[in-house]
Structures are given as C-alpha cells and as structure tokens.
Structure 1
Amino acid sequence: MNSPLLELPGAVAAPEEASLDSSLDVGVPWHFGDPFAEQRSAARSAVLVDRSHRQVIAVPGEERLSWLHLVLSQHLTELPEGQGTEALVLDSQGHIDCHLMLAHHEGAVYLDTDAGAQATSALPTIGVDGKQTLPEYLEAMRFWSKVEPRDATDEFALLSAIGPDAAELLRKAGVDAVPSAPWEVVGLPGGGFARHVPFRGLFTVDLVVPRKSLVDWWMRLTDTGFRPAGTLAYEALRVEALRPRVGLDTDERAIPHEMGWIHTAAHVAKGCYRGQETVAKVHNVGKPPRRMVLLHLDGSVEVRPETGDPVLHGERKVGRIGSVVLHHELGPVALALLKRTAPVDVELVAGDAEQERAVAAAVDPDSVPPDSGEPPGRLAARGLRGH
C-alpha cells in the first residue's frame, strides 16, 4: 500500500525503474528534495522518516514468549513488558530468512520487518520455491500453542525519529515518556508505542502508531521541528551505522555471524530454534567464512556498483556488494561481504566490469570486525586434551 504521506508537498517517490536498493522502499517518500540536507539534519538536529511500508505482526496470547522463543533466534522467555529486541528467522541450515524488530507491549509482542518478508517453509512442499510469507510461516508453526499471531500492518504504521534533538521534540509533541534506554518501549497517547533503537551514535526512536492516525502524527511531529526525510537518507545512515538489511546485504548463504548479528539478534546459548545447530557450531568450533565491512568507493567517476556485484582483489573474486549509498560526509560507500581471507589493507575493485560499473574501493579499517580469537569450543577441547 502507498503511504498517504506521498501526497505531501515535496515528497518524491522512488523511480519506477528502481534499483534493488530503492525497490524495497517503494510506497513511502524516497526524499523531500534534498537527501544530503536530510542526512545532515539527522546528524545535527532531528528528522522524521516515513517507514510505514514495514510489515507489522502482533502476537498476543499467554504463551507468546515461550512460543516465540522456540520460533525465533533470540532468547525471549523473559523479555519483560516495556522492552524490545531484535531477532532472526533462520532456515534449517542456519541461513537468514528475515530480520525482525520486536516490542513487548500491553500483552502482545509486536514484530516489524521489511514488507514482503518470507521464511523457508516448515514443509518444503508448501509455498513458492519452498517459501511462505512471514504470517503464513508463523501460523504453520503455531500448532497447539496459546498464541494468536496476526498481520497487523493495516492497524499500525511505523515512523522513525532520528537525531540529537529528537527526544526534546518528541516531548514537545506530547510524548511525555520518551524511551532512552536501549530497547525501552513506552506507550503513546492515543495508542501504539515508541521503541528506542540503538543506532551507533544517533538517537533513534521508532514510533508504531495507529495507521489511521499516521498523517496526524506526521503533522504533529513536523510542526514541532522535525525535518521530513526520506528513505534515501535513512539508508545512508543505516549503512554508516553498519546495520545490514536482509535482501540487500545478505544472500542465500548468509549466516548471522557474518552480519554481526551474534549476541544482538541470535542467541548462542539457547537451543530449540531452527538453524541453531549452525549458529552454535560456528560460534563454538569455527569461524564464519565471510565478514561484513564498509567499502569507500571511488567518487571521481560517475558509475557505482550495484547490489550483488562482485568485489575483486586482482583477478580473484573475494566478496559481494550489498547496500550502495551516497553519504553526506563519506561520499559513495557500500556494505560488502568479504571472504575472511581477503586482505583489508589493499585496493579492491567493486562492481561488474562487463556492465562498466567497476570502481576502485578501499575497506574502512574501523568497520572490520575484531578477531574474536580461538573459538570457545576449541579452547575447551584443548584444555581437556591437556589433562
């Protein structure tokens, strides 16, 4: 469904011939005339982003936490009311199907994810190419549990308030209790809730509001001083914060360890969820074959690589391009999955040369995940052998 905010003066929709990067955000404003200024406002003051195209799923029922604990990758049995987190749906091999943001509020757990998110079917004969929509998958996994998951996208819409002045402006708009602790969730006047999202240095609150009140909330917040911003600006900030997005920064082989989602979205100590064996095995006795990094792209040329293009070291393919954005300070940058053995202190080439969009690229050293050392399982085994 298209957001009514696309009808606002200055709102620009994504082009019809959109790249994969922008096609995921069709239906909401792409920008409001100046994406770079919108990014700068997010860093220096406050912006409001329409993300009402995200799918929202409500999970009420007395067994909601224990059931979600079994279905998702996160430890959820003790998630208190007024708290959120993030989680994944994995396939049986531990590959990532979808990423979810959670909020436990007033007797239900709310999940939000990219529109059209799919999960590998619990029964391979069901669905197209063994895939189901996320609501279909959750319904198939319900069995006799006392839960009633439902697609609540028609009921709720999501706005993101970002920037150092966001908390003050939210209070000015009548949000008396602004969540400030990591993943804190508070109710909103008139229904819905606000959830604090850790966003690597940028104060960020997601507002999940009644969809019928979306325009009213937008006008109330922009009237207090929030600058309207589109998904182009949001995506640039997301890439800068090294937050991956399923379908752009992941491929069919991606596992949580490669994306930096271990401990944040995937729990390594609990069992019983699909894909858990792969998560535990790689964490305890191995290392992920790839790692996500930030690439600085040559900005002296007009072409840029696209999602899915290769990353080369000499003639050898060493990685895959994910999200590609223009950042107001960093210039053209991209997230990329590189082989663990790929050098990170040399010049690389990003993009498809046959399509004439290959450019020089360099890995941002601050984005390289630290070496976690020898896996704990190997250390334990070595200790046993020593005795």
Structure 2
Amino acid sequence: MEFAESLRFSWRSIKSHKLRSTLTTLGIVIGVAAVITFVTLGTSLRADVLGQVGADRTPNVYVWAGPEGQEGGPGAGSQPVFTTSDVDALRNVSGVESVIPRGVVPTAAVSAGGETVAQRQVVATSPSYFDDGAFVEGRAFRQGSREVVLNQQAANLFDPALGVGQNVTLRLASGDSIEAEVVGLLNGSSGGGAFEGLGSSQPLVFVPTDPFYRTTIESPTTGESQRVYPTLTVVAEDFEAVPRVKTGVRSYLENRSDAARLVPDDYAFSVETDQDLVDRIKELLTTLTNFITGIAVISLVVGSIGIANIMLVSVTERTKEIGIMKSVGAQNRDILQLFLLEAVMLGLFGALLGIPVGIGGAYAAGEYIGLSLVLPYEWFAVAVAVGILVGVVAGLYPAWSAAKTDPIDALRYE
C-alpha cells in the first residue's frame, strides 16, 4: 500500500470518529500547551531578570568570609575579619581603583519629627559606595561627619516623608543615641547594591564608618586596634582588569592578610564578580524552569496513554476490516503503517494546536504579572517533534497488534 493511500485511510478513520479523536487530541493539546506556557514564562523571566542585572553590571569584586559550602548571595553569613590594614593593602593590588568597606551598626530605632520607627541596623560604608547618579536629591555623606543617606523606602517610613536637611536620631543597640542630618535621598534603583539583593525594597539607612562604625579588633600585623569589616567591594579600573583584580585579591587574602589569621577555621573567603552573580542567577532560573517544565511533561504522558488506549479500541473495532485488507493482499507492514500513521496524526494535530494555546496562556500570565514575553521559538519545533514522537510511541503497540492479527480469525470476528 502506498504512503498516500495509507494517509488517506488514516485520515478517514479519524474523521469518522470526530468526538473520540478530538478528546484524544485534547490530551496532547493540554500537555504541549502547558510545556510551551511554562517554558515561555521561564525564558521571559530569565531574560527580564538577567537584563536588569546585566544593565547594572559594574567592574566590582565582592569579598567576604562565610561558612564553607553555605549558599546565598554576597555577604551571606559573613564575619568581620577585614581590618583597615587589609583595606589599605588591597588598594595597592594591580588594577584596583578603590576599596569600599561595609559594616553593620546595630540599632534599635530611628526617630524624626516626633515619630519613631523600628530599625534593626544601619549600613556603615564610605562615600564612594554611591554612584554619581544614585541620588534623587542631595549628595553622599562625608567621612567624619554625622550625616546619613536614606533610600526612598526609609524616607517614606515617616509622615511626611523625610527630606534632605532634616535631622534624625539613631538609637543604637548599645543604648546610645546619635543625632545626624539627612544629606541625600537615593533614587528607586539605588541603595541596595549587590549585598542587599536584587530590587531591594527594604528601608536602608547609610552612615559613614567614621564616626558611626565601632567594631574593632587588634590587627595581627601591626598590633594596633583597627576597625574590622565583614564585607568589601573592590572596584577595578575597568572591566578588562576584573579577572586580574579577582586573582590578586584572592592571593593577598589567602597569603598575607590579617583576615587570613582572623577567619574561623570552618570559614572560607568568597571573591565574586557581578558576572559570577549573573551566572548563579541564570543557573537558578534554568533549574526552576526545567523543574516546572518537567511537571508539565506529565500531561504529555497522560495524553500519550490516551492515544494508546484509543488506538487499541480502534484495532478491536476494525478487526474485520483488517481481515478483509489482509485477504486482498495487504501486508503486515501496510497494516502497521496504517495504524501508526493514525496515531502520529493525532499526536501531530495535538502539538500544532497546543503551540498557540500555550502562547495564549503565557501571554495571559505575562499580562497578569507584568512580564514582557520572550518567545522560545526553538521549543515550537520541539513541540512538533514531541507530538510526532508521542504518536509513534503510543501507536506502536496497537499498530503491531493490528499487523499480527490472523486474517482468518479477523474475518470470523463479530
């Protein structure tokens, strides 16, 4: 039997059982649509997040000491081990433009204008922590001055919102109170930095290390009492210098630094760049997308079982027809081809219909969460291939069973 003739017979069989064929195909449509929806959303989310992170990429190297094997972003579980001597020495590493220390000042609350709000800590750092375009109003604080910088979330804790020139009182966890002037308000996209996480929405108050930061330790190198910091940001001269800076920083820390002698035995130095953080985010999003897509594939498995079931029913219904075809010269391969084509067509139709349904589902979900869609076109080809594969796998046994039917028994079948 010619292929075109087999195709015509298979199509006629599908048309003669419209409702049954539609319900069978629906299982594949749902499965393919679910896969396309989740893959599209995953691809779009990945593109959106990486686009935001990539746009903010800087020639920075983030340094901290945390428990070995601990997962988390920069600064996770960090301990104050970097002395002022380490900060000064790192500034002399080849390719380094500046070193920005960062510490935490424990607080109980912040007061202004007769209002008091709880604030567990404020961030102590240097003026170079802030970019030139970071401020919506005001400027960076000066070292040695009682000045603070707020992000918008911190300013909005008060009613009316705090502005430049107003005074605030920081109530330290030690019981002391320090009055300071607000000299800068950060714009909505600044004030978190890599250490506070992507899209930081928590209220942040920034103060200069001098005079606010009081965590000190005796330097193993000089024997003097020095400030000691849990995290550092080493700024390279340019992007090309980042790999050299990363290597130089790690070499200094592991061989000649105060931190190497202060770090606990079960802690290790972490030296990461913005690209390292992007790669970690990319890996996390890929894993999440693959996991969700794997769940959606279960729908395809259910759909393939539906095709196998219907094809077995079809073989039973057409037993006498099979006997007649064999009695007039049809070979086993002709019968096999006939039923296999029918199963493949059901799978292919399901895949082709599932693609637009999946895109529609992704579009609706994207509109709901405010996500711009990025269509994974390669997955459309995968969906068609999967539809054909499902048809082949699901229809193989029923087709083989039909091909092995004895023509004498088939003609006697009622």
TM bin, normalised by shorter chain, reads under 0.3
Give 1 or 2: higher helix fraction.
2
By relative contact order (CA 8 Å, sep 6+), the higher-ranking structure is 2
Q: Which protein shows a greater Rg?
A: 2
- Normalising by the residue count of structure 1, what TM-score does the alignment of the two structures yield? 0.22
- Normalising by the residue count of structure 2, what TM-score does the alignment of the two structures yield? 0.21
Give 1 or 2: higher strand fraction.
1
